[in-house]
Amino acid sequence: MRKRITALLAGLLSLATAYGQYPVESYQELPNPTPSDRSLWQSLSVPVIGWGSIDIRYPKERPAEGLTSKELRLSGWRGERVYAQAVVSSSTPLTALTYEISDLRSSDGAVIPSSQGKSGTGFVRYVLTDELNKDGLGGCGERPDHSLFDSTLVADGIDHLARSLDLTPCTTRPIWFSIDIPRDARAGSYRAMVTICDGDRALATLPLSVVVDERALPERSDFFLDLWQNPYAIARYYGVTPWSEEHFSIMRPYMEMYRDAGGKAITASIMYKPWNGQTHDPFDSMIDWRLGRDGKWHFDYTHFDEWVSFMLDLGIDKAITCFSMVPWELSFRYFDEASGEYKFLRAEPGSESYTELWSAMLRSFAQHLRAKGWIDRTYIAMDERSPEVMEECFRLIQEADPELKVHMTGALHEELSDHLDYYCVGLAAKYSEELKAKRGSEGKITTFYTCCAEPRPNTFTFSAAADGEWYGWYAAREGLDGYLRWAYNSWVEQPLLDSRYSNWAAGDTYLVYPGARSSIRFERLRRGVQSFDKIRALRSQYAGDRQALAKIDEALSLFDESKLSPSYTSDRIINEAREIIETL
């Protein structure tokens, strides 16, 4: 059965890409590998519609349970984004399902604008996913044969572009609402109505209220969010020339989403394939390396400057992380002007050729960065490198220009910390309290990351909906600056349809979808960033109040990844913590 399903899906994907076109504005989901059990739908004589839970990814093939048509009551601070999820289940076909959310109005006439048509509000779309490795211990390892893993459709993408969708018989369709409370909103209760129709026929109206607190989130989040951006994936998917005016125009809404979620770092690939092409769309070099006829190295920073300037103008301006002095394949591409060809120099750290190459590059780069006024925020970045290799890098960087900063993502080696201006270690590694205090006093950035290794919490497309939110709470508990994920938008070939990849578990390579569509994973990650900011604000507000601070610590103590299991999930922990915090 799995092989037949895989063959069917492969055929559909081949058809979709036969003319080199990828869907953007609209698309049809792939067939569901899990058929609807008609016996479950027999009791539904009319569509069942109501408010559901943002903690549930509702299966497409099953009627939703536990819905309510009563008023859904939300609360939030000024400047916060709050969330709701409505669900439609129907045993009969619906040919033009639509939704409309009104403005939210208070009794004294104040208005919170409707989120209709805005990113983060829309029909929840279903994408093909798979599962953890068979040992249940993570999602790492090659997966060339998808038939070896259970594949299902999962609710994840949030389609703000679709004005209406049809429902085939015996299917469920959620609708996600992201409501932004303006920073200048008056405190009080606001009410709205959500109307759900099939064509001209009204199916249901669902009341919604939001209570706005007098407190406000900071105008700019304190959370240091670093999601590696891949401009080359966007260029490939949209069929545009990298770094063209059209390319930058298309990238803008994606990077605005990243910024609004707390994005602080710019990902720059300063050499060809720093990760040896591990993604469907490899990272090219934003810097043109040339060996001149004079035997000297020359560097053209045109595309690097365009990319960094674009991101800085959007307000993503805390760090420029430049990968990498030590790529995963120790091979460095350059254009040889004497032969008129691209060539590769293989060189290991410590070798004469490596030292010559990188000494020339770092000196040139530092001079350029200083002229642009960017050297204070630029980090020469390495990913998962050994202490011995890092020591050699430190030496070369220091000799080239002491003002250059250094970043590493990888294992915890406390002996390297003094050299690392931005350090990020895996979730399982724990900085000592002394090291965190020292780094904090020196103004250094200290964060954590997850990748394919963690079974939970994670942001695979099949992960628990709330897992991404867990990260912000954990960072607050550990006294860290933020979180890093290696892939914001390193899309697979058809990310709207099939999130599976040949190397890791489904969804590992991206959090947002083409069309600048958000996802349940991304919105819950953003909600965790807001929780981090709230914790900081509450600690400041209740400084000196032992009882209040003890409650905050009680809530944060719940965030221990070793306690997570299929039965004790991230949503239970988060909801328990929120109940404690909301008493303050």
Q: Number of folded domains in the chain?
A: 1
Domain region containing 249: 224-455+470-507
The alpha carbon torsion through 390, 393, 395, 399 (nearest 10 deg) reads: -160
Report yes or no on 171 lying in a domain.
no
What are the beta bridge partners of residue 381?
A: 323, 407
| Residue 474 C-beta-side C-alpha neighbours within 13 Å | 29
The span from the CA of 463 to the CA of 454, in Å, is: 11
Residue 382 belongs to some domain of the structure: yes
What CA–CA distance (Å, rounded) separates 405 from 48? 57
DSSP assignment, residue 417? G
Model pLDDT for residues 341-356, shown as the tens digit of each residue: 999 999 999 999 999 9
For residues 381 and 358, what is the distance between their CA atoms, to the nearest angstrom? 13
DSSP-assigned letters across all residues of 101-131: EPPEEETTS-EE---TTSTT-EEEEEEEE--
Q: What is the pTM of this model?
A: 0.96
Q: Is residue 378 part of a domain?
A: yes
Question: What pLDDT score was predicted for residue 308?
Answer: 98
Q: Which residues pair with 83 in a beta bridge?
A: 178
Closest CA to 462 of 126, 159, 52: 126
27 inside domain: no
Residue 434's Cβ-count burial label (10 Å; 0-12, 13-18, 19+) is exposed
CATH of the domain at 348: 3.20.20
Q: How far apart, in whole angstroms, are the C-alpha atoms of residue 42 and residue 189?
A: 40
Digit-by-digit pLDDT tens for the chain (584 residues) are: 444 455 545 554 444 443 347 999 999 999 999 999 999 999 999 999 999 999 999 999 999 999 999 999 999 999 999 999 999 999 999 999 999 999 999 999 999 999 999 999 999 999 999 999 999 999 999 999 999 999 999 999 999 999 999 999 999 999 999 999 999 999 999 999 999 999 999 999 999 999 999 999 999 999 999 999 999 999 999 999 999 999 999 999 999 999 999 999 999 999 999 999 899 999 999 999 999 999 999 999 999 999 999 999 999 999 999 999 999 899 999 999 999 999 999 999 999 999 999 999 999 999 999 999 999 999 999 998 999 999 999 999 999 999 999 999 999 999 999 999 999 999 999 999 999 999 999 999 999 999 999 999 999 999 999 999 999 999 999 999 999 999 999 999 999 999 999 999 999 999 999 999 999 999 999 999 999 999 999 999 999 999 999 999 999 999 999 999 999 999 999 999 999 999 88
For residue 424, being part of any structural domain is answered with yes
DSSP conformation letters of 426-449: ETT----HHHHHHHHHTT-EEEEE
Q: Looking at the domain assignment, is residue 9 inside a domain?
A: no
Cis peptide before 324 (omega within 30 of 0): yes
The 3-state secondary structure of 396-413, one letter per residue:
HHHHHCCCCEEEEEECCC
Report yes or no on 337 lying in a domain. Answer: yes
Is residue 426 a part of any domain in this protein? Answer: yes
Cis peptide before 457 (omega within 30 of 0): yes
Q: Between β-strands 331-336 and 341-346, what pairing exists: parallel, antiparallel or unpaired?
A: antiparallel
Whole-number CA gyration radius for the chain: 25
